[in-house]
Chain A
Amino acid sequence: MSPLTSLLRRTPARAGAPGAAAPSAGATLPSADAPSRGGLVEIRGVHKAFGDLEVLRGIDLTIEPGEVTVILGPSGSGKSTLLRAINHLEPVTSGLISVDGEVIGYRRDGDLLHELREPEVLRQRTAIGMVFQSFNLFAHMTALANVAEAPRRALGVNRKEAEAQARELLALVGLSEKEGAYPRQLSGGQQQRVAIARALALRPKVLLFDEPTSALDPELVEEVLSVIRSLASAGTTLVIVTHEISFARDVADTVVFMDQGRIVEQGPPAQVIDHPAHERTRTFLQRVRTGADAPVDAEPAGPADPSGPAGPDASPADHPRSHSPEDLR
């Protein structure tokens, strides 16, 4: 627990970024004295359209600090777009998203929202880590360099310090011995764990996971999930888009079900997953559960299905809500 918490304590973003002197509107994002607590994410009336296609049609969602939110939904429901909107990779058409009161992508001045220039958006993003479905590790850099890159370039940390921290993070995800390996030399699960370490290197207040296990072989899924599970206890706010229902039940404080650009229902997993109020949620869950038998989409066994495959790692069935960092391999 302690190494993780100390690693997740935020350092201030590089002050040298031009015009980055956080202006007004309660913008306290990179303050150094803030303890390593997660950020409060507020999503208000968010719409997003690609041309005529409306992908998000009015999303309102509050994610409490340190909370683990899992977003479920069929493909095309807008869940990935929502996730990408949170760190402004996808600017929204209307509505706003804020982290700890700081509007992402804009500077609020009374009733006016001034669009931020890129360096300031980049500074905001250092508080919001992201893990991609296809890992997106920098292919020409070693695992260590991948993790050390962002602190060096975005925060201006010197190389030695950044690499020392990167080593700790790689140890945290169980990949100490792979620091010199290039992404192509790692398995999918290992690549994703490096990607998680890379996202942690900036000590984000909010971590976004965009289907982190969808590109993985079934037997590699659990190693990634166990890393995420240990982060859930470390106090960072996690927003996870996934199809792993049993993992969602295991780790989530709140489950959000989306369909066709709207939130259909939300609540604790015991409610949304086990006793869904809406027909749409029920059919979706049913379809995903039956899909679990298919070899491609196999998910680790949940409490409801104790006969499922038990990997070499402890499956969630064995340790429901096991949130200790010792879980990390």
Chain B
Amino acid sequence: MTSSVVTHDSARRAPASGAASGADVMSCPPGTAPLDAPEGAPSDGDRPGRGARASLGVVSDEELARLRVVPARHPGRIVLAVLVGLLAAAVLWSFVTNPRWEWGVVAQWFFAESIIRGLLETLKLTVLAGALGFGLGLVLALMRLSKSSLISSVSWTFSWIFRSTPLLVQLLLWYNLGYLYERITLGVPLTDVTLVDTRTSDLMTPMLAAILGLGLHQAAYAAELIRGGILSVDQGQLEAASALGIPARDRSLRIVLPQAMRAILPTAFNEIIGLVKGTSIVYVLAHAELFFTVQLIYGRTQQVLPMLLVATVWYVVITSALSIGQYYIERHYSKGAVRTLPPTPLQRLRARFGRRPVTAGAPA
């Protein structure tokens, strides 16, 4: 690669510099020659004992074959890497060896049936509240961008209310809806037909209250972040689609949204990961998700720290899985935004160990 630059450059320069000798290139310290030759040429005059640029003459094939690139060294980075490594080792060491973490207890409870049940509840809450949040969020974002001021102000008002009241209050309000409205009746107005008629407290389980509370709160945030993504797409894309007679629904879903995804995804995963851990707030409704289960257990056994660790490690596991998913989903949506997709970590590993890459020819 580098040698081709040298070839090209010297070939171009050759006629101008006439029959000057190539000795100067050879006498350069190894490594500086090929990299410096193209750019450094004009400043050659500054170097002591060096002629004008004419001295950078023809490089013979033989010399060309001998030229080698020495990669730049970064001694500071090595020092820093050692320091960081030591620090990490120290933290890890204390984490593993300090008996107060009680890893034995962690291991004993980690796959316990009640913990797994709690974990599944947490996942169920995350999926349902996330689906409600982002589904409704998308609708709210499109409403907000509507030309109709009525529709857009409805969306604005929703976001305003649900972003400005604390999540905890929302959850408790949903759960205590039965106190505000004793019965929920759904019927056809002005007739005796009733479709649904139940006591609110029968309908509003902790699970439903949690999904509504988390989902609607999430929707208000998701709406803004989806709207941000849509606004980031070039106006010309919409214009071109309109000029081609593509209907409004297809314009939004097929042209704008896929391109908005690039801007939406990083923040959206932030929100989803936040939601996974945010479900722990549902313990106030005494719904047996992961965090509430852990609290129940350490309330009985008094092994507070190890039980918190059990929950924490599970949250870390979920978040890690989501992060990996995020990488691949983002990669999918970057098609067309970058000229060539970067290799996945797997592909990089394979390239590294499967076939030795061609080294840049650093001297031994």
CA distance A294 to B219 in the complex (A): 55
CA distance A129 to B240 in the complex (A): 10
Segment at the interface with B among A118-126, A217-225, A240-248, A303-311: A118-126
A202 → B minimal CB distance (Å) = 7
Q: Is the CB of B240 within 8 A of A136?
A: yes
In the assembled complex, which residues on chain A have CB atoms less than 8 Å from the CB atom of B333?
A: 140
Which of A139, A155, A185, A198 has the most chain B CB atoms inside 10 A of its CB?
A139
Q: Is the CB of B247 within 8 A of A122?
A: yes
Are A89 and B242 also in contact (CB < 8 A) when A136-B236, A184-B336 are? yes
Task: Digitize A156-179: 1 where CB-to-B-CB distance is under 8 Å, 0 elsewhere.
Answer: 000000000000000000000000
Segment at the interface with B among A72-80, A95-103, A146-154, A231-239: A146-154
CA distance A89 to B245 in the complex (A): 11
CA distance A150 to B250 in the complex (A): 10
Which of A118, A183, A202 meets B244, CB within 8 Å? Answer: A202
Contact of B255 with A by CB under 8 A = yes
Q: Is the CB of B244 within 8 A of A125?
A: yes
Which of A13, A137, A150, A155 has the most chain B CB atoms inside 10 A of its CB?
A150
Which of A119, A130, A134, A138 has the most chain B CB atoms inside 10 A of its CB?
A138
Q: How large is the interface on B (under 10, 10 to 19, 20 to 34, 35 or more residues)?
A: 20 to 34
Which of B243, B248, B259 meets A87, CB within 8 Å? Answer: B243
Q: Is the CB of A89 within 8 A of B243?
A: yes
Task: Digitize B161-172: 1 where CB-to-A-CB distance is under 8 Å, 0 elsewhere.
Answer: 000000000000
Task: Digitize B66-89: 1 where CB-to-A-CB distance is under 8 Å, 0 elsewhere.
Answer: 000000000000000000000000
Contact of A132 with B by CB under 8 A = yes
Contact of A141 with B by CB under 8 A = yes
Contact of B65 with A by CB under 8 A = no
In the assembled complex, which residues on chain A have CB atoms less than 8 Å from the CB atom of B8?
A: none
Which of B244, B248, B335, B338 meets A149, CB within 8 Å? Answer: B244
**Chain A residues with a Cβ closer than 8 Å to the other chain, count:** 34
Task: Digitize B292-336: 1 where CB-to-A-CB distance is under 8 Å, 0 elsewhere.
Answer: 000000000000000000000000000000000000000001011
In the assembled complex, which residues on chain A have CB atoms less than 8 Å from the CB atom of B248?
A: 118
Are A136 and B239 also in contact (CB < 8 A) when A149-B254, A153-B254, A184-B336 are? yes
Q: Is the CB of A139 within 8 A of B254?
A: no
A262 → B minimal CB distance (Å) = 26
Contact of B337 with A by CB under 8 A = yes
Chain B stretch 237-276: residues in CB contact (< 8 A) with chain A: 237, 239-248, 250, 254-255, 258-259
Task: Digitize B213-240: 1 where CB-to-A-CB distance is under 8 Å, 0 elsewhere.
Answer: 0000000000000000000001011011
Q: Is the CB of A153 within 8 A of B250?
A: yes
Contact of A182 with B by CB under 8 A = yes
Which of B247, B254, B338 meets A119, CB within 8 Å? Answer: B247
CA distance A238 to B240 in the complex (A): 18
In the assembled complex, which residues on chain A have CB atoms less than 8 Å from the CB atom of B336?
A: 139-142, 182-184
A284 → B minimal CB distance (Å) = 27
Are A13 and B236 also in contact (CB < 8 A) when A141-B336, A183-B336 are? no
Contact of B352 with A by CB under 8 A = no
Contact of B339 with A by CB under 8 A = yes
In the assembled complex, which residues on chain B have CB atoms less than 8 Å from the CB atom of A17?
A: 247
In the assembled complex, which residues on chain A have CB atoms less than 8 Å from the CB atom of B240?
A: 130, 132, 136-138
In the assembled complex, which residues on chain A have CB atoms less than 8 Å from the CB atom of B337?
A: 139-140, 184
A236 → B minimal CB distance (Å) = 16
Minimum CB distance partner of A133 in chain B: B236
A240 → B minimal CB distance (Å) = 16
Q: Is the CB of A122 within 8 A of B338?
A: no
Minimum CB distance partner of B233 in chain A: A139
CA distance A155 to B250 in the complex (A): 12
Are A150 and B236 also in contact (CB < 8 A) when A140-B258, A184-B336, A184-B339 are? no
Q: Is the CB of B335 within 8 A of A123?
A: no
In the assembled complex, which residues on chain A have CB atoms less than 8 Å from the CB atom of B246?
A: 122, 149-150, 153-154
Which of B242, B243, B246, B336 has the most chain A CB atoms inside 10 A of its CB?
B243
CA distance A124 to B241 in the complex (A): 14
Q: Is the CB of B244 within 8 A of A150?
A: yes
A297 → B minimal CB distance (Å) = 22
Which of A118, A130, A136 has the most chain B CB atoms inside 10 A of its CB?
A136
CA distance A128 to B336 in the complex (A): 27
* Chain B interfacial positions (CB closer than 8 Å to A): 234, 236-237, 239-248, 250, 254-255, 258-259, 333, 335-339
14 additional A-B pairs beyond A138-B259, A182-B335, beta carbons within 8 Å, are A118-B248, A119-B247, A122-B246, A123-B245, A125-B243, A136-B234, A136-B236, A136-B239, A139-B237, A141-B336, A150-B246, A154-B244, A154-B246, A202-B244
Task: Write 11 A-B pairs (CB below 8 A) sorted by A numbering.
Answer: A87-B243, A122-B245, A122-B246, A129-B243, A130-B243, A137-B240, A139-B336, A140-B333, A153-B250, A185-B339, A198-B244
